[in-house]
Structure 1
Amino acid sequence: MPDDVPVDTDGWWCDPKTEYAFLGFSYEVSACQSADQLKKEFQDARDRFQSRYIRLYGACDRDGFYDDVIEAAWSASVGVQALIWFGFDGDDKWKSRRDDLLDTLYSNPKAPFVTRGVQFGSEPLYDQVLPPSQLASQVSDAQTTLRPLGINVTVSDLAYGFQSTADQGSQKVLDQIDFIDAHMLPYFSQHASTGDKAWPDVQNDLNYFLDNGKGKKIYFSENGWPSTHYCPGVCPNSPDAVSSVDSEDKYYKLLDSKCEYLKQVNGGGVGWFAHIYSDNQEPGYGIYDTNMKLKFDFSPKTSC
């Protein structure tokens, strides 16, 4: 990062066409990590794995938390996909989270230079937290607010989230968002077996976004394969689905093997995140285990 904060974001961000292959980690924040922990782990993501981005997941409602995220990202030279978290309680806390985030994006001078985009919910269509028309309106309002800062807005959801609400108008949401954050969780497919055999399900969901996304840039945001099995929570829909460290490893190696294909996908290629940084954040999905030891050799391609 430069010594002084730039005047504006003109020419600041890389061309999205260069953002394919491994981009970084989903990072769960309900633990309200300290500023020091954020800096340490963002720097680790950058230095050890060549991460370019951190995609936030969950929520921390501590005052000033996103300021800490901004400082950690600035220090580590990574971008952030911020998140307005709806949660699972059906309450309206998301409104104050929205307002607090937008306020911080304007009040912190470094915010536009680390915040690549804002996710309006994680699986909001699948969870039916708002009717699609209202969700599209929320996205539109946020775009109007953030356009002067050069920050884009999206939702982060499954292809099934859009498909299951198509008759309610989910295409309006897909039309409104600036880029596509596609959840790619093939372990839950009815055809799932092992991570190395997941490509047909990945391709199927990707094709939905290619067919309906009108050429928008696509990222695999919540993307991974679990190493442990538990219900409720990580409960498969296929009797053949294997949750193991080996299968998790093979899923990411599968994505690596498809690097050339993902690079050529319409809209500027597909970049992907690993869900999630450690098992302390979400059991089974971490690249690190609960003792912060790598579960397998994770050295994904960042280009091809």
Structure 2
Amino acid sequence: MPSSPPGSLDNWWCSADTEYAFLGFSYEVTACQSASQLQKEFADIRNRFNSRYVRLYGACDKQGFYDDVVNAAWDNGLGVHALIWFGFDGGNQWETRRDSLISSLHSNPKAKFVTRVVQFGSEPLFDDVLPHSQLASQVTSAKQKLADVGVPVTVSELAYGYQERGGAQDVLNAIDSINIHMLPFFSSQATTGSAAWPLVETDMNWFIAHGNGKKMYFDENGWPSVTSSGVEPNSAHADASVNNEQGYFTLLDSHCEDLKKAPGGGIGWFAHIYSDDQEPGYGIYNDNGQTKFTFAPRTHC
């Protein structure tokens, strides 16, 4: 990063066609990590794993928290996929989160230089948080409010979330990029992580067919090492294990060239999630702070 924010976003971000392989981690923030912890873990994300981005998951409603995220990202050369978290309990707290994030993006001079995209999520269509027409309107409104700081807007969602709403083409038309939940473990046809490519390809091809050539990311993307409440398979043959978690990411690595060929500059993917203490079973790190397996995914091919 430069010593201070530049005067313009012109030529700031790398071309979308360089973002087609491993990009970084989903990172759960419900714990409201301290500024020092964010700095430490963002440095690890950047330096140990060659990540380019952190995709936020969950919500911390502590005042000034997103400024801490921005500072940690800036100091460690990372971009952020920010998130307006709806949660799972209904209510309208997401509106306050939306307004707070938009305010931070205007008030923090570094924010627009690390915030690659703002996401509405997680899975608002699948969870039936809003009718798809209202969600599309929310995206359009946020885009207008963020146009002056140049931050695009999307929705973080499953293919099935769109499909069960008749395709929700109005949402696909409104969003700037397509941020996809790729969780093949939950497919009724799931078996092992290393055999999941047909499931990945099916959802990927659906978005290609309906996405009008927009840039795509697999943002909530992984295979669990254990089952837990809310992480239960829909296939008797789906196997949650460390070997299958590793096998899934190895599979994505082996299809780097296929992801690179996708419209919009290729598909970049995140590992969900940084650590098991953020979401059990999905972490690259276990609860003891040790990596569960060797994780050194390709960042280009």
Task: Report the TM-score, using the length of structure 1 for normalisation.
Answer: 0.98
In structure 2, the residue corresponding to 1:253 is in which secondary structure? helix
| 3-state SS in 2 of match to 1:221 | strand
Matching residue within 257, 267, 285 for 2:264: 267
Query: How do 1:147-158 and structure 2 match up within 5 A?
Result: 147-158=147-158
Q: Does 1:225 align with 2:226?
A: no
Structure 1 CA distance for aligned equivalents of residues 143 and 56 of structure 2: 19
Q: Cα distance, 1:197 vs. partner? A: 0.3
Are 1:193 and 2:191 counterparts? Answer: yes
Residue in structure 2 matched with residue 131 of structure 1 by the alignment: 131
Residue equivalent to 2:248: 251
Q: Map 1:1-304; keep pairs closer than 5 Å.
A: 1-166=1-166, 170-230=168-228, 232-304=229-301
% identical aligned pairs: 63
User: Runs (4+) of structure 1 moved beyond 2 Å?
Assistant: none
For these two proteins, the number of residue pairs brought into alignment is: 301
Aligned partner letter, 1:65: F
Report the alpha carbon displacement of residue 150 of structure 1 after superposing the two structures with TM: 1.1
Show CA shifts across 1:75-120 (max 9, x none): 1100000000000111100010001000000000000000000001
> Could you tell me how far apart the structure 2 residues matched to 1:4 and 1:85 are?
30
Return the offset for 1:122: 1.1
The secondary structure found in structure 2 opposite 1:247 is helix
In structure 1, what residue type is equivalent to 2:95? K
SS of 1:126's partner is: coil
Gaps of 5+ in 2: none
Distance of 1:254 and 1:209 partners within structure 2: 20
- Within 1, Cα distance between the matches of 2:267 and 2:158? 15
Provide the TM-score with structure 2 as the length reference. Answer: 0.99
CA distance in 2, matches of 1:227, 1:5: 41
Q: Deviations over 1:35-78 (max 9, x none)?
A: 00001101100000000000000000000000000000001100
Give the root-mean-square deviation of aligned CA atoms.
0.7
Write the distance in 1 (CA, Å) between the matches of 2:189 and 2:174.
32
Q: Which runs of 5+ in 1 are unaligned?
A: none
Letter matched to residue 217 of structure 1 = K
Local SS of the residue matching 1:83: strand
